[in-house]
Structure 1
């Protein structure tokens, strides 16, 4: 009879089975796993610091200097500390422009998010051929350069030959819009600017929200419908909580873009607006630094604008993270 030898505690086989794992190998793997994300992010971080960080540092330095036209032609810049910031904050025109910019951005963001979300819901409901047609139209609107868009809309609101005045006067019988000038009055000027900016921003919001809507499980919507929930109830209870992070991110981006809008306002002012009564922060910075030659004050204005945008963005991000927790 052949007997099978069972490994004893002292045998090599038992020793090999009972030997604990090498802790040094596990520690090395953990260190590699913790370092790997930073190693992967390092190239992109270096590029961002080179492209964004260095100009931002130069802008901060410029905001603490007396830098005008004389310094452009070689005179050394004089350090003035916080004088540029003090002059900017003591200027009532700055606060008027800041309030106008905040109100203008709030209106643009609100209309863009509401209309963009409605267009996304429409894209979800439309049959495939009409969805493709609408998507192509949105892409065409989104791809047009801001300057070209502003010029086209300026022609549409032209006093003499604008199609808007013709439709309101001849189509709707509103005689008060005969040769009506939309860009002379500051409120109607900003209204035209809102139309231009919202028209160009809706496609981004619509496509972003539509991408989020495609990820909402259809089973949940069907179950809610069987339970008697209407379309509005299903949207508020199921769809909105799941696309809320996307809406917050889109809102943050719209706030950033609308607070620093420049091209549309500047081009409309060239067509017929009054600069002193219609400038936003982006145009005001240009007027101070480039047109006025006060680069130090312009740098201070740019830093203040960046801080305003950062505070608004951080507040929304913290609210989003708090709601997710």
Structure 2
């Protein structure tokens, strides 16, 4: 007795394996996220939409006092993107950002490596010192460093006078743009290095000790173990830290603005965030200021795309 099986002709779709039905996810997680998303939409979405609308308008002091704004089209963006001052400030901001990111990351990584070699008590002491620097508000840190570099009574000029024997009293560190950014770099690195140090320390402690010991037995030095073993293990952390540092140092405002108030020259020391604020307040051209802010947001989004791609790659 023979049994016959019916084979479906190709192309009819009957020969394909049965598809599994997708299980619909529970809406409960979305319900939990709804309040946070609503708050985020109000606090971030509305100001961003309002900023974009203002960037396409003639919005000055008259509009701030109640007169309706007029439509400007792309005029504000054309003015910003053809302004020599904008590109000069943008170049200055990028140059400072590169120096600040490199210095902060190198110093923070060195502090993380130092913490791995310290004993428990000394590591706790160093951690407390780093936390104090990291937790200090930006304006407070600027005031403290401004006192240290004060022209007449600053401790820096006093120490330099004792060391060199020359009279440094009366020397202004903020009047020269180069030394101004040097002081600003000290403030940014002083506040940013602890975050890099703690994050890198947390990542480096996850590297298996067996791998490091095996590399040491094979004759690998400290530099080789760091660059060939430890860095690949924490590559994702390094990417995130660099992207975040770029964003933070490119949108500086409080530190630059406060330091200018102590003694810096505004025209020669303004970074992108401060320049956008000055365009709106000094000239009263809020439409142009909004357009420059939108351009800055676009730059931040382009930089942030590296972080988003890295996050999605890790999820895959």
Q: State the alpha-carbon separation in 2 of the partners of residues 164 and 187 from structure 1.
A: 17
Matched, 1:233 2:227: no
Tell me, in whole angstroms, the C-alpha distance in 2 between the residues paired with 1:229 and 1:265. Answer: 44
Q: 1:174 and 1:273, CA in 2 relative to 1: closer, same or farther beyond 3 A?
A: farther
Cα distance, 1:312 vs structure 2:
2.4
Aligned equivalent of 1:32: 25
**SS class of match (1:219):** helix
Correspondence 1:129 to 2:121: yes
Equivalent pairs counted in the alignment come to 299
For the residue of structure 1 that corresponds to 2:219, the secondary structure is coil
- CA-CA distance at 1:195 after TM superposition: 0.7
Q: In structure 2, how many angstroms separate the alpha carbons of the residues matched to 1:191 and 1:126? A: 30
SS in 2 for 1:160: coil
Contact kept? 1:248, 1:320, Cα under 8 Å = no
Secondary structure of the equivalent of 1:228?
A: coil
Residue number in structure 1 paired with 2:67: 75
Structure 1 unaligned residues grouped into runs of 5+: 1-22
Task: Give, in angstroms, the shift of residue 292 of structure 1.
Answer: 2.5
What corresponds to 1:302 in structure 2? 293
Whole-angstrom CA distance in 2 between matches of 1:174 and 1:256: 42
2:234 counterpart SS class:
helix
Instruction: State yes or no: 1:151 paired with 2:143.
Output: yes
Greater CA radius of gyration, 1 or 2? 1
Asked if 1:142 corresponds to 2:116, the answer is no
Report the Cα distance in structure 1 between the residues aligned to 2:149 and 2:41, rounded to whole angstroms. Answer: 43
Equivalent-residue separation in structure 2 for 1:188 and 1:83 (angstroms): 37
Q: CA deviation at 1:47?
A: 2.9
Moved more, 267-276 or 285-294: 285-294
Mapped to 2, the partners of 1:42 and 1:323 lie a distance apart of 26
Which residue does the alignment assign to 1:190?
181
Residue 278 of structure 2: aligned partner? 287
Alignment partner, residue 160 of structure 2: 168
Shift of 1:175: 2.6
Q: Residue deviations 1:186-219, cap 9 Å, x none?
A: 1111111111111111111111111111111111
- TM-score, structure 1 normalization: 0.86
SS of 2:25 mapped into structure 1: helix
Structure 1 pair 174–197 and aligned structure 2 pair: CA distance change class (3 A): farther
Cα distance, 1:244 vs structure 2? 1.2
After TM superposition, give the deviation of residue 322 of structure 1 in Å.
7.4
- Deviation of the 1:179 alpha carbon: 2.7
Which has the larger helix fraction? 1
The RMSD of aligned alpha carbons is 2.3
**CA separation of 1:66/1:308 partners in 2, compared to 1, >3 Å: closer, same or farther?**
same
Kept after mapping to 1: 8 A contact 2:56/2:74: yes
Residue 50 of structure 1: CA displacement? 2.3
Deviations 1:48-107 (A, max 9, x none): 222211111111001011111100111111111111111111211111111100101111
